[in-house]
């Protein structure tokens, strides 16, 4: 059933795809959905300076973007990489991938993060870290859509980390989405929007070990289904002190700065602070 729905979304022009996604977002907003409750809690925590009306407006805009993210999944996964690339209206910063040092793509859950690796892999090999799904059937389907051509996936475990390290040694690109709770192992509490959040340490560790260049990469979702703007921007995640907490805090700060540019396009329906608060 899920595959059928995603296939339907894949054949729709992006404008109509996002129109339906917006409708899903409105439904999530006007009902007492789980997504609305989580988004509301996160917005309340991270944007306390907004008054009640402003927070409600941001919650609604966020859920609309959440709906678009759901509908566009079919559009991205069930179309070819070359077809995906046609939706990129402009790319800024490709020159930053040229480096004598290994390059790590820091890809926050912002905009259409799924399209980033697919498009970049058309010109260079990329290995992306991901967390496997519990359902083996869904996992097999997802891998078949994600792992194609020069894009390969590495599981978020010891085996996957070895795969990432090998890719860096060959100076292939690796991509990591470091802004989700990594669980008890592999994480450290670091500030994010002035609240502690369990944050992945792997990216910072790999960057320091390999003297790697870190390039923040995101695809901003344009209005009215006009496509995406792909951005690549070098950032510093390595502190002068060499302290891991300071490294991870720098990483979170960079992500926070990006999120503030268009906060509604961030994944606020994820329980980002679940290690320290109750949702």
pLDDT tens track for 88-134: 999 999 999 999 999 999 999 999 999 999 999 999 999 999 988 77
Of 206, 204, 177, 178, residue with least CA distance to 117 = 177
Note whether residue 34 is domain-resident.
Answer: no
CB atoms within 10 A of CB 121: 21
Q: Which domain holds residue 187?
A: 83-265
**Structural domains in the chain (count):** 1
The residues, ordered by sequence, that sit 6+ positions from 153 with a Cβ below 8 Å of its Cβ are: 127, 128, 129, 130, 143, 146, 147
Note whether residue 23 is domain-resident.
Answer: no
Note whether residue 25 is domain-resident.
Answer: no
Note whether residue 10 is domain-resident.
Answer: no
pTM: 0.95
CB atoms within 10 A of CB 140: 11
Q: Does the pLDDT value for residue 2 go beyond 90?
A: no
The predicted pLDDT at position 57 comes to: 98
**pLDDT band at residue 266 under the 50/70/90 scheme:** very high
Segment 148-193, tens digit of pLDDT = 999 999 999 999 999 999 999 999 999 999 999 998 788 999 999 9
Note whether residue 154 is domain-resident.
Answer: yes
Out of 14-18, 24-28, 145-149, 207-211, which region has the weakest mean confidence (pLDDT)?
145-149
The residues, ordered by sequence, that sit 6+ positions from 95 with a Cβ below 8 Å of its Cβ are: none
Note whether residue 58 is domain-resident.
Answer: no
Question: Half-sphere exposure (CA, 13 Å, Cβ side) for 202?
Answer: 28
Note whether residue 162 is domain-resident.
Answer: yes
- Chain centroid to Cα 243, Å, comes to 25
The predicted pLDDT at position 132 comes to: 82
């Amino acid at each position: 059933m899920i595959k059928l729905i995603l296939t339907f979304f894949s054949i729709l022009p992006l404008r109509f795809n996002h129109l339906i996604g917006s409708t899903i977002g409105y439904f999530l907003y006007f009902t007492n959905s789980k997504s609305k409750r989580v988004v509301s809690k996160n917005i309340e925590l991270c944007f306390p300076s907004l008054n009640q009306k402003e927070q409600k407006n941001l919650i609604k805009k966020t859920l609309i973007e959440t709906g678009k993210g759901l509908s566009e999944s079919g559009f991205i996964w069930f179309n070819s990489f070359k077809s995906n690339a046609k939706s990129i209206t402009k790319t800024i910063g490709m020159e930053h991938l040229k480096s004598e040092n290994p390059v790590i793509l820091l890809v926050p859950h912002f905009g259409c993060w799924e399209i980033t690796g697919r498009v970049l892999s058309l010109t260079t090999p990329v290995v992306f870290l991901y967390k496997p799904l519990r359902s083996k059937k869904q996992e097999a389907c997802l891998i078949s859509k994600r792992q194609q051509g020069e894009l390969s996936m590495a599981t978020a475990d010891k085996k996957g980390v070895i795969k990432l390290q090998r890719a860096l040694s060959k100076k292939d690109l690796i991509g990591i989405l470091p802004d989700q709770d990594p669980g008890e192992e592999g994480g450290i509490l670091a500030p994010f929007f002035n609240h502690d959040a369990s944050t992945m340490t792997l990216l910072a560790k790999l960057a320091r070990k390999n003297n790697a260049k870190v390039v923040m990469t995101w695809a901003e979702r344009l209005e009215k289904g006009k496509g995406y703007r792909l951005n690549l921007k070098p950032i510093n995640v390595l502190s002068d002190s060499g302290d891991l907490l300071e490294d991870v805090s720098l990483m979170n700060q960079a992500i926070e700065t990006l999120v503030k540019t268009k906060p509604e396009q961030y994944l606020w329906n994820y329980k980002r602070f679940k290690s320290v608060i109750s949702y």
